[in-house]
Amino acid sequence: MTQAGKKKKRAVNRSIMLAKKIIIKDGGTPQGIGSPSVYHAVIVIFLEFFAWGLLTAPTLVVLHETFPKHTFLMNGLIQGVKGLLSFLSAPLIGALSDVWGRKSFLLLTVFFTCAPIPLMKISPWWYFAVISVSGVFAVTFSVVFAYVADITQEHERSMAYGLVSATFAASLVTSPAIGAYLGRAYGDSLVVVLATAIALLDICFILVAVPESLPEKMRPASWGAPISWEQADPFASLKKVGQDSIVLLICITVFLSYLPEAGQYSSFFLYLRQIMGFSSESVAAFIAVLGILSIIAQTIVLSLLMRSIGNKNTILLGLGFQILQLAWYGFGSEPWMMWAAGAVAAMSSITFPAVSALVSRTADADQQGVVQGMITGIRGLCNGLGPALYGFIFYIFHVELNELPMAESSSGGSVVAQYHLQQNSIIPGPPFLFGACSVLLALLVALFIPEHTNLNVRSSNWKKHCGSHGHPHSPQAPGEAKEPLLQDTNV
């Protein structure tokens, strides 16, 4: 054997030894650092959404510069396509992760969700195009919740999901402010580079440190193993909606209340920046304050209300706050009004946790997955329809700008440049007023939901349908379906 051949062989042996140190074989299952834990999932979520949170202010600017004439319409279409694709793909990706393991799909979802980030400065058109298509993989939370379900007992799961959701909220409380400061001091290019670096760090963390959570015995030996297409059907849970009148009332309430909420999340920060004249720092501060107040509302205030006025009345109160908030957004024309309405918006965030608690308390143990799956499906559908609806309403009411509202002054502050709404804009925010009417209908429907009842939904093969939201051998426990303050599909 030649000297070159020996060197090559030694290099191969060193590579194999290094791989064995990084990937510890345990029954053929690749492992990361330590045993699977909730903290692995928490770090994955934090890094992904911290990277996107940094881009809050730069995205608003690039969006208007790319689509100066129909900014809100295009924003609605982009976010609507992304949300609809996420709704359609989430059950399939969940089903595939039940077969092939969680780690591969964590890597896949994080990679494709963060893929548009470096394109912001390379080509804005490609940036928004890839964001729309990335909705197919923008379901990191579905895989993370399944990961958590694999490694926790039923009595631990609600707390673990709460930790994941709190981490998500914490990343968005801090990162927009950091991104706005760095953008003002060093330019948006640095912010994009930093966000790209954090996304790459997240991918490397999954590759090296995250162990597989799905036990080897729960997975087939072959990657070509078939899956149940019934399990991957995004409309499977929705088909059961009409089988019980109480379930129907709950689902209609969720649809009418979450449709405007999904549309609001997709366009509101753009609305603050472009219409209300908020600076980048003000938008970041608004996100932080709203996030902190919502966390307080969904923990301390929600617990007090549930004990004092009951489950149904808490839902009605939350819907009332949401109506007030949306009406205030719709008629408000001054920045201080937006801040005041934001405080009301934090109180309106108690609605969905209260709905989940109502279902958990009234549904039989073997019905939890079915009903919670329906509610999650309704919210997923709203994530696609809401942004598109808001963008279209902004368009038909001619809510547009002639110029960017914010111009930087020489003193480093910000002043409102010459801008105005198009003619006949009597209502500053027409989609928000439409949303208030939708939530009013939800309130009227919710009045007919009984406080105590037994939900009776035929649940043949229900475990198959909840497999996309959790591990199939771990049925959902009460309260499991609580979701983060903001959906990952809307960030």
Tell me the per-residue pLDDT of 76-91, one tens digit each, with 9 for 90 and over.
Answer: 899 899 888 888 888 8
Whether the full predicted model's pTM is greater than 0.85, yes or no, is: no
**What does the mean pLDDT of the chain come to?**
76
Alpha helices in 240-367 (DSSP H): 245-274, 280-296, 302-308, 311-331, 335-348, 351-362
Check residue 455 and give its pLDDT. 62
Task: Tell whether the model's pLDDT for residue 322 goes beyond 50.
Answer: yes
Q: Would you call 455 helix, strand, or coil by DSSP?
A: strand
Calpha distance 192→154 (Å, rounded): 40
Identical fold, 32-214 and 237-400+429-450: yes
Calpha distance 403→419 (Å, rounded): 6
Burial of 422 (0-12, 13-18, 19+ CB in 10 A): exposed
Q: Which two tokens stand for residue 133?
A: 């298509």
Contacts with 102 (C-beta within 8 Å, 6 or more apart), sequence order:
143, 146, 147, 150, 212, 213, 214
Q: Which two tokens stand for residue 12?
A: 């191969």
Task: Tell whether the model's pLDDT for residue 104 goes beyond 90.
Answer: no
Contacts with 486 (C-beta within 8 Å, 6 or more apart), sequence order:
168, 169, 172, 265
Calpha distance 273→279 (Å, rounded): 6
pLDDT over 90, % of the chain = 19
Q: Would you call 307 helix, strand, or coil by DSSP?
A: helix
Contacts with 473 (C-beta within 8 Å, 6 or more apart), sequence order:
218
Question: If pLDDT is split at 50, 70 and 90, which confidence band does 13 have?
Answer: low
Calpha distance 486→121 (Å, rounded): 26
Contact 249, 446 (CB under 8 A): yes
CATH number for the domain whose boundaries are 32-214? 1.20.1250.20
Calpha distance 314→303 (Å, rounded): 10
Burial of 475 (0-12, 13-18, 19+ CB in 10 A): middle
Check residue 222 and give its pLDDT. 45
Q: For every residue of 72-133, which 3-state class applies, written as one string?
A: HHHHHHHHHHHHHHHHHHHHHHHHHHHHHCHHHHHHHHHHHHHCCCCHHHHCHHHHHHHHHH
Tell me the per-residue pLDDT of 231-286, one tens digit each, with 9 for 90 and over.
Answer: 667 777 777 777 778 888 888 999 999 999 988 888 888 888 878 888 888 888 89
Domain 237-400+429-450 classification at class level: mainly alpha
Contact 490, 387 (CB under 8 A): yes
Name which residue leads in pLDDT, 327 or 137: 327
| Spatial CA neighbour of 319 closest among 384, 386, 260 | 260
Tally the residues of the chain. 491
Q: Where are the domains of the chain?
A: 32-214, 237-400+429-450
DSSP lists the bridge partners of residue 273 as none
Tell me the per-residue pLDDT of 458-475, one tens digit each, with 9 for 90 and over.
Answer: 544 444 444 444 444 443
- The owner of tokens 């000297």 is 3
Relative to beta strand 29-31, strand 406-408 is unpaired
Tell me the per-residue pLDDT of 150-197, one tens digit each, with 9 for 90 and over.
Answer: 888 877 766 777 777 778 878 878 899 899 889 888 888 999 999 999
Highest mean pLDDT among 193-207, 238-252, 305-319, 414-428: 193-207
Highest mean pLDDT among 77-81, 198-202, 388-392: 198-202
